[in-house]
Amino acid sequence: MMRVMILIAALAAALPLSSAKVIVIGIAQDGGIPQIGCTQKICKTQKHFVSSLALVQQNSLVLIDATPDLRDQYAELTRRFPQTVRPNLFDGILLTHAHMGHYTGLLYLGKESISTKKVPVWCSAEMADFLTKNAPWSLLVSNGNIELHTYESGKQIQIGSLNITPVAVPHRKEFTDTHGFLIQGSRNSLLYIPDIDSWDPVRTQMMDWLSKSNFALLDGTFYSGNELPGRNMKLVPHPTIQDSIEFFNSIPELKCQIFFTHLNHTNPLLDSDSGEANSFSKTSYHVAHDWQEFDL
């Protein structure tokens, strides 16, 4: 009986997965929740990691964006999914852009920490140039902790059973351009765009990307335009969720399920008792939640 059980276990381990899995390992805007210096109720009662995804296949763990919360995200991910543990942490990392919540976790791969060995990092040419020419990121390259691979917008990257297409989107360009990703598996597809200035400049492209997607995790930083008293919200442009719903409602025959992510700590949808959350619950849209899974 023991031999039979061992044989069954070995065969099961050798069988390919019917699909890959996307795991949401953070839903917060770059500053995280609680945000530093925040005294609001949300920051006292909730904790959310910065927005990021883990792409899990049978023998592969790929990260989308390396956040400032990477240490804790990796610890919780491997606790929940022990099969994702590997000596070099990741089989690859995909980066969207060079704002603080999306790449600063790369520092944990350096020699002051675990000192990984040539983790493949896919990014745009502008992002690769930024990492190569600016310290301390350049040290990760020269020390061989990471190995840069450039992608091009609209050209697929094959990672295991997944086809991943970078899609260029407009977002304030202090350092680099910005991309989202269309992730296509054997059964389902998911569109991930955590940061964008406005949907209007890419309306035609969005209609195409959404038509190819079963799920979409999209920029939901702010619910409305009055969440940052004393600050000019035009300096941190994001489509509000109110505007996004109006935009997506205007797309004919939209069948993709839309989830909002990358929420700022001021977003009232984080408070299930708020009037905004009550109104939102009556729509066909959703808020992504930590450790949510999507089968591809």
Interval 1-43: pLDDT, tens: 444 333 333 333 433 444 699 999 999 999 999 999 999 999 9
Q: Which strands, in side-by-side order, build the sheet including 162-169?
A: 157-159, 162-169, 178-184, 189-193, 215-219, 257-261, 286-287
Q: Are strands 119-123 and 146-150 parallel, antiparallel or unpaired?
A: parallel
Interval 126-173: pLDDT, tens: 999 999 999 999 999 999 999 999 999 999 999 988 999 999 999 888
Would you state the pLDDT for residue 96? 98
Is a pLDDT exceeding 60 seen at residue 270? Answer: yes
Average pLDDT over residues 99-117: 97
Average pLDDT over residues 228-240: 68
Whose CA is closest to 259, among 279, 282, 284? Answer: 284
Share of the chain above pLDDT 70, in %: 90
CA of 191: how far to CAs of 7, 35, 133, 229, 261, in Å? 39, 27, 30, 32, 12
Q: DSSP character for 219?
A: E
Average pLDDT over residues 46-72: 96
Would you state the pLDDT for residue 231? 60
Q: Is there a contact between 85 and 91 (Cβ–Cβ < 8 Å)?
A: no
Domains of the chain: 19-295 (3.60.15.10)
Q: Is there a contact between 50 and 101 (Cβ–Cβ < 8 Å)?
A: yes
**Cα dihedral 237/241/246/251 (nearest 10):** 90
Helical H segments across the chain, by residue range? 2-14, 41-45, 70-80, 100-103, 125-133, 137-142, 203-211, 241-249, 275-280
Measure CA of the first residue to CA of the last residue in the chain; give whole Å.
Answer: 35
Would you state the pLDDT for residue 43? 96
Q: Name the CA radius of gyration of the chain, rounded.
A: 19
Question: Which of residues 228 and 294 earns the better pLDDT score?
Answer: 294
Environment class of 15 (CB within 10 Å of its CB; exposed 0-12, middle 13-18, buried 19+): exposed
